[in-house]
Amino acid sequence: PRLRITNVLKNVLQVGEIRLRVIVGKNGEVITATVLRGINDILDDAVLNIVKKYKYKPGTVNNQPVRYSTSEVFRFE
């Protein structure tokens, strides 16, 4: 999914980056996403809502599905 830049987001768009920590479940779905470094609440929430819809490749250890964490970085210029 892409971040749709609405009129509200245009008003708060700033240069910078948003860093997230994402916990991915055994099935590849996002369990939680947390902002580690944000820009502002409105933009951070918009990015969080997009990431929560992501579907990741399931992680495995010894061919068994496992939960894992990863990070995502969104840069705005």
- Token pair 């399931």 in the structure block, residue: 58
**Which pLDDT does position 7 carry in this prediction?**
64
Q: Judge whether residue 1 has pLDDT over 60.
A: no
**Which pLDDT does position 23 carry in this prediction?**
98
C-alpha separations of 49 from 46, 60, 64 in Å: 5, 26, 29
Cβ–Cβ under 8 Å, residues 37 and 18: yes
* pLDDT one-digit tens code per residue, 21-70: 999 999 999 999 999 999 999 889 999 999 999 999 999 999 999 999 99
Residue 7, both tokens: 């009129």
* pLDDT one-digit tens code per residue, 9-22: 666 667 789 999 99
- Partners of residue 76 on adjacent β-strands: 16
**Which pLDDT does position 3 carry in this prediction?**
61
